[in-house]
Amino acid sequence: MQIKGNKIVILLPRTKEKGTKEMKKNIGFYPGELMLPKEQLRERFSVVACDQFTSQPEYWHQVDALTEGHPSANHMIFPEVWLDKIDFDEKVASIQKTTRFYLDEQIFDCFPESYIYVERTQRNGAVRRGLVGVIDLECYDYKKGSRSLIRATEGTVLERIPPRVKIREGAYLEAPHVMLLIDDPECTVIEPFMERKEELPMVYDFDLMMDGGHLAGWQVGHSFYESVTAALAKLGDSKAFNQRMGTSRKSPILFAVGDGNHSLASAKACWENIKVDLTDEEKEHHPARWAAVEVCNLHDEALVFEPIHRAVFDVDQKAFVKALSEWAGAQPKGRKNLTGKQWLTVLSGSKEKTLVIAEPDHTLTVGSVQEFLDKYLAENGGRVDYIHGEDAVRKLTAEGAVGILLPAMDKADLFRTVVLEGALPRKTFSMGEAWDKRYYLECRKIR
């Protein structure tokens, strides 16, 4: 980014075809040098985000069986289910070697300076729409109190960043599972492509593995860049943003991180480390300054906020449930009168009961519960995992865990809550069930 007089000018990543592009205002999201695995490779290449099914190793065993001996994003990621079960350094070295091998073997088709319009048909038949491009990491800040255009929606756990940085800093490619949200009630950025996709070249159309639904994508070329930029700039206008939020003089959030917060934070950390040794000119065009993401509209009807439940392991179940019940302070007779209250359901063995938090310390139930868990586990031992889907929690409970079912957050409250209160407690919400998360497909060079 440069200052010319009183005008901010952003220099986009340099491409072979177009050289340097200038824009009057940095909106943070641009077309990128994207790559796709060749058509015959895509079904095995595309796997679900690495932070899913973390307590269900059988899922990832099946993925391993499907991708063994085939080019796949599964060999470019570190599924979190294995983090404490296999040699970390050996796996990281394998990932980094694989990214270089895939480049050398030319398994990708290249799409210079492109967006990709995405339609993801989910397991339930709903179609979620998005736009893949790259963000400028100079416009993103995950720290508490951030006023950046691209902002974290949940607290960032700093100790989760170094392992991801170690993976990224030696890799030649990235494949995004990061999903950013825009607050676009008039549907001006992404939805227009629904009506115009016949004008665009289709670049993929296939079924995802493990019953993950269907994925279709279209390349968005130069003739559409101006309309995307103008629509985003309008959403990011300070006056219009504050009118939508019912606030005054708040710094606009143009993009809120919906999924992949820690992966994006790791990309930011890598960039901060790299840019220290770069000249100003090199900083403008270095590929590590940019990170690939998919942008979705908060108002997409297919985008449903699901709660992220908790499963607690290695604790005395009776003592834990007793402490949780005493901390909450109330047990209602049923769920009919829970409106306006913070409530949770605790599962232990064959027992199940709903609790109401009499004196919550946080705006959201998840924040209150997380504070209790952090304190209890620090004092008594045990561990917690964050689980997508009530059925998965009940299965883990049957196997010996204590389950905590939490209510869903209203997605309409997201942007305003982050503006007024800052980042939400970690693992507050999930954009859909685990099998509906973003699958890796688009790649780009990062070194």
pLDDT in tens, 369-391: 999 999 999 999 999 999 988 99
Task: Indicate whether 39 belongs to any domain.
Answer: yes
Task: Indicate whether 108 belongs to any domain.
Answer: yes
Q: What is the pLDDT of residue 333?
A: 62
- The 10s digit of each residue's pLDDT in 264-297 is 999 999 999 999 999 999 999 899 999 999 999 9
Same domain (yes/no): 91, 206 = yes
Same domain (yes/no): 262, 321 = no
Same domain (yes/no): 71, 175 = yes
Report pTM. Answer: 0.85
| d(C-alpha 244, C-alpha 236), whole Å | 11
Same domain (yes/no): 299, 320 = no
Task: Indicate whether 236 belongs to any domain.
Answer: yes
CA 113 to chain centre: 23
Same domain (yes/no): 273, 315 = no
CA distances from 113 to 68, 110, 238 (A): 32, 10, 28
Task: Indicate whether 50 belongs to any domain.
Answer: yes
Angle between helix 261-275 and 161-169 (nearest 10)? 60
Same domain (yes/no): 274, 329 = no
Angle between helix 414-421 and 238-245 (nearest 10)? 100
Domain span at 164: 2-303+434-445
Centre a 10 Å sphere on the Cβ of residue 2 and count the other Cβ atoms it contains.
Answer: 11
Q: How many domains, in total, are found in the chain?
A: 2
Q: Is the pLDDT of residue 442 over 70?
A: yes
Task: Indicate whether 422 belongs to any domain.
Answer: no
| 424, burial (CB in 10 Å: exposed 0-12, middle 13-18, buried 19+) | buried
End-to-end CA gap in the chain: 20
- The 10s digit of each residue's pLDDT in 337-373 is 677 789 999 999 999 999 999 999 888 899 899 999 9
Q: Which strand (E) or helix (H) includes residue 241?
A: helix 238-245
Same domain (yes/no): 73, 131 = yes
Task: Indicate whether 425 belongs to any domain.
Answer: no
- The 10s digit of each residue's pLDDT in 294-314 is 999 999 999 999 999 999 999
Same domain (yes/no): 379, 441 = no
Task: Indicate whether 232 belongs to any domain.
Answer: yes
Same domain (yes/no): 269, 318 = no
Task: Indicate whether 34 belongs to any domain.
Answer: yes
Same domain (yes/no): 296, 315 = no
Contact 232, 189 (CB under 8 A): yes
Q: What is the pLDDT of residue 334?
A: 60
Same domain (yes/no): 10, 92 = yes
Same domain (yes/no): 48, 178 = yes
